């Protein structure tokens, strides 16, 4: 999935005004300096020096001392807010920001960074918007405020304004690779994948060594079914993988290779992991998925369930588990598909899986009701027709079952067992000549190993069936 990069305010604020590390505790030396200093400007400057050295415990204490001597000191409030932000003291940081902009109402950069910070947390998006608009009012060339407001509007579902704002941002002289990457994200969210690819390409032209953006472009190209372009990006990323590369990056890369139709490269990446890493649930699950046997072993199901514990609303995992338990524990299968449907109630694939579990549990009327709704929405859903045919057949509604098996035969005439059920349905209905024709067709396409049991049944039935036809028994019309 195409990912929004970490919100720009964190990077720009921490690069321009602060750093991201903080050591808890009190500094006796800093306290001594603060106690002996009576000039708030010098205290503030020492605080900035501490920032430059990543010594936050000293910096915050010096800012506090400066503000004690000079309460109306917006620069000190602002820098103190940045230090609080670095240690995730959000409430205190918000209070310090509020004091800073109250002391300097026309301070555009403070509004921009304050609003961007609020927007980046996700909890204060509503509060962030007026602050960011104020920043743009004070400085219509504020890149940070424009990008921040675009992201806030996108999160609130206003894609037209989000697109308008991010286009303004990328037209600014100081637009960065991050600006273009954010534009790509918003364009992708708006469903304009081609424009998103163009934007992420611009971002890469600005910063060609940034691997995350190449990963994003590969993902977008796969959405456009451009496997060749995606593989070119993936190969470039693959060349950077070594023994120190994080497992999560290797797994993400392997997933994209699989989507690009290069499963052999996916497996080579996973094989290159350490023995310990190869035992991780996400690695086991991906390997089994690539190999086409996802959830077929106890180990694989355990891996999928571990992943689900971390991400209980992951519908793809729920569906995988639902499918893996369908024949060995249909009650569990039903429960997993039910959970998936609670999250995505309109997903017909999940509904078909749910109905398939009902078929395994022999709850045929319930399964039929679900499957008919699925087919109404997705008339070409092969799995839905197959399960509906089984349910109708088991309820001895052979005429209705025949309609489904005839549909299946027309769609996939190479599947031998379909002819067997067509034949037995005709046989049950007394349509002996039609049954004989279907039995003979079945025998002509059946596999001696795969269809051994059915072949034996047909060979036992044929002599008596031919005799019945010779005696003129059975219906002469084909009823449905």
Q: Where are the domains of the chain?
A: 396-480
For 157-206, how does the pLDDT look when each residue is reduced to its tens digit (9 = 90+)? 999 999 999 999 999 999 999 999 999 999 999 999 999 999 999 999 98
Which among 216, 215, 223 is positioned nearest to 245, based on CA atoms? 215
How far is the C-alpha of 73 from the C-alpha of 352, rounded, in Å? 65
pLDDT of residue 294 exceeding 90, the answer is: no
What is the DSSP code (8-state) at residue 280? S
**What are the angstrom distances between the C-alpha of 455 and each of 426, 433, 446, 449, 458?**
17, 18, 8, 10, 5
Least confident of 2-16, 50-64, 69-83, 238-252: 2-16
For 447, counting Cβ atoms within 10 Å of its Cβ (0-12 exposed, 13-18 middle, 19+ buried), the class is: exposed
- pLDDT computed for residue 12 by the predictor: 39
How far is the C-alpha of 394 from the C-alpha of 387, rounded, in Å? 11
pLDDT of residue 297 exceeding 90, the answer is: no
Q: How many Cα atoms within 13 Å fall on the side-chain side of residue 478? A: 13
**CATH class held by domain 396-480:** mainly alpha
How far is the C-alpha of 240 from the C-alpha of 213, rounded, in Å? 14
Tokens 């509020």 correspond to 98
- pLDDT computed for residue 91 by the predictor: 83
- pLDDT computed for residue 124 by the predictor: 67
- pLDDT computed for residue 275 by the predictor: 87
For residue 68 the two structure tokens come to: 């004690």
User: Angle at CA 368, nearest 5°, toward 432 and 326?
Assistant: 100
- pLDDT computed for residue 31 by the predictor: 53
419, 421, 423, 428: CA torsion to nearest 10: -170
45, 76 Cβ separation under 8 angstroms: no
For 344-359, how does the pLDDT look when each residue is reduced to its tens digit (9 = 90+)? 999 999 999 999 999 9
- pLDDT computed for residue 33 by the predictor: 52
Q: Please, what is the average pLDDT of the chain?
A: 88
Which among 387, 357, 360 is positioned nearest to 373, based on CA atoms? 387
- pLDDT computed for residue 171 by the predictor: 97
CA dihedral sign, ordered 152, 155, 158, 161? positive
How far is the C-alpha of 134 from the C-alpha of 367, rounded, in Å? 57
247, 269 Cβ separation under 8 angstroms: no
Least confident of 95-99, 120-124, 279-283: 120-124
Task: Assign 301 a pLDDT band (cuts: 50, 70, 90).
Answer: confident
Tokens 């009012």 correspond to 137
How far is the C-alpha of 466 from the C-alpha of 51, rounded, in Å? 95
- pLDDT computed for residue 303 by the predictor: 87
Average pLDDT over residues 131-137: 95
pLDDT of residue 14 exceeding 80, the answer is: no
């Amino acid at each position: 999935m195409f990912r929004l990069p970490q919100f720009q305010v964190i990077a720009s604020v921490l690069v321009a005004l602060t750093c991201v590390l903080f050591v808890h505790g009190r500094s006796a030396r800093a306290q001594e300096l603060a106690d002996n200093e009576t000039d708030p400007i010098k205290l503030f400057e020492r605080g900035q020096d501490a920032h430059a050295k990543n010594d936050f415990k000293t910096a915050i204490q010096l800012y506090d001392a400066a503000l004690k001597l000079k309460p109306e000191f917006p620069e000190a409030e602002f820098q103190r807010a940045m230090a609080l932000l670095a240690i995730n003291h959000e409430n205190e940081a918000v209070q310090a920001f509020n004091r800073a902009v109250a002391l300097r109402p026309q301070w555009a950069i403070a509004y921009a960074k304050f609003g961007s910070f609020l927007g980046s947390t996700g909890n204060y998006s509503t509060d962030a918007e007026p602050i960011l608009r104020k920043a743009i009012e004070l400085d219509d060339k504020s890149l940070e405020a424009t990008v921040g407001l675009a992201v806030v509007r996108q999160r609130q579902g206003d894609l037209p304004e989000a697109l308008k704002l991010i286009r303004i941002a990328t037209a600014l002289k100081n637009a960065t690779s991050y600006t273009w990457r954010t534009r790509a994200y918003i364009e992708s969210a708006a469903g304009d994948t081609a424009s998103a690819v163009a934007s992420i390409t611009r971002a890469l032209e600005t910063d060609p060594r940034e691997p995350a953006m190449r990963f994003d472009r590969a993902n977008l190209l796969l959405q456009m079914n451009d496997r060749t372009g995606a593989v070119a990006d993936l190969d470039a990323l693959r060349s950077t993988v070594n023994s120190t590369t994080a497992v999560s990056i290797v797994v993400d890369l392997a997933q994209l290779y699989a989507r690009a139709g290069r499963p052999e490269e996916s497996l080579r990446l996973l094989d290159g992991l350490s023995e310990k890493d190869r035992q991780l649930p996400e690695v086991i699950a991906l390997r089994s998925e690539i190999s086409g046997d996802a959830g077929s072993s106890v180990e694989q199901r355990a891996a999928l369930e571990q992943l689900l514990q971390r991400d209980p609303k992951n519908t793809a995992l729920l569906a995988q588990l639902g499918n893996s338990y369908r024949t060995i524990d249909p009650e569990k299968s039903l429960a997993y598909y039910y959970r998936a449907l609670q999250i995505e109630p309109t997903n017909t694939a999940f509904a078909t899986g749910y109905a398939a579990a009902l078929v395994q549990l022999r709850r045929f009327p319930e399964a039929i009701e679900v499957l008919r709704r699925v087919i109404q929405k997705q008339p070409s859903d092969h799995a839905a027709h197959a399960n509906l045919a089984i349910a109708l057949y088991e309820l001895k509604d052979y005429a209705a079952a025949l309609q489904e098996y005839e549909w299946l035969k027309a769609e996939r005439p190479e599947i031998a067992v379909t002819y067997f059920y067509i034949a037995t349905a005709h046989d049950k209905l007394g349509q002996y000549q039609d049954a004989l024709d279907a039995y003979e067709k079945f025998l002509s396409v059946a596999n001696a190993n795969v269809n051994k049991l059915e072949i034996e049944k047909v060979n036992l039935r044929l002599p008596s069936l031919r005799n019945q036809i010779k005696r003129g028994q059975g219906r002469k019309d084909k009823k449905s």
